[in-house]
Chains A and B, each alone.
Chain A
């Protein structure tokens, strides 16, 4: 390890001016940048005008925040909404699941009144969704109202995995039965990332 500065929370790193800005793991107080984690100080000089001061640390526990794309598993379903457990945030797996719910009107963008929840999701499906901005509610609210969001992995009634055919249908691999889901349109380049 050559010349890396190890810092602890509360250590003053540098002055906050036009050439340095705050990065991850830092906070500002009275014109100076302080560290809020224990780790190594890294100054990111890729942008020529401004260098970003950040603190690299071990993997921290991530908390879901509004606007993040999350992977969730559907647990219960009724006509108004379905309850899900958030298992990973932006690709990082969480140690513990967070409870969340997906309302009927947030399933897709078009024809909101004609949505039948049973034809969009089933318990046990793995979905990609986005967290809506926080409201007064106690659980996270999700939305799948985009083309790239929706069911990614599902099992048919007979217990075998299914592959997507269109944006509303999935086909069982063993029995070739077709079932209805709100399927996520996965762009081919990112196919490996999403399995």
Chain B
């Protein structure tokens, strides 16, 4: 029982960072109908950037987030303009998968040239302190990571709900046709949306680097988790991504503590298959098929 509750606590705390990563990805899908397979690589790049800022200049990852998000926003816009925009409309959804996969490999290659393939982690002073509450251990760094992720999600929420740009994005997600008629310029929304997705990845990456050791190949582990979360929640739904992250990370934490850590990776895949069997559109997705 103790192990179970400890698992749940751990799962909820880690869910924050996954929710952040996944919300960027589901946002990109919502706007552009593109499954961004480079999201994991972007997260790792974000982790490297804040690692570098920390080791070279001593800037705490929590403080470097504004810098890395802006840098990654620009990168995201560039990727959209250079690689996704030129794709022809009729095979865009298919080609964009492969293009973003190629971008992931490109980023992986660049990262492994720049930082080699040795495993890094951002070791801050508070990395190892922890509290014990009612017999349950809560590490400070996990709590920080959780709060930070929630804060970043809050900023994302405000951006989407309180700004003109955010309203344009939400209109596009809900109905691209009428958004276009209302004067929302689809190509601009796509570029900015992809940038926003990348910026989310950067923020998540800073947090991720605090929590886990990583190297350039870590994005492979991330991407399958992220995709499961996004599908689970329903492609394009940010609320769904948050719930999906909670489900995936608590269940794999429980399995890790109750059975064995090596089986926790399997958990999300099993959950994913079950959800797809029962509800192909995901928990919060609206349509299973394209419009008729």
Please say whether chains A and B are actual partners in one complex.
no
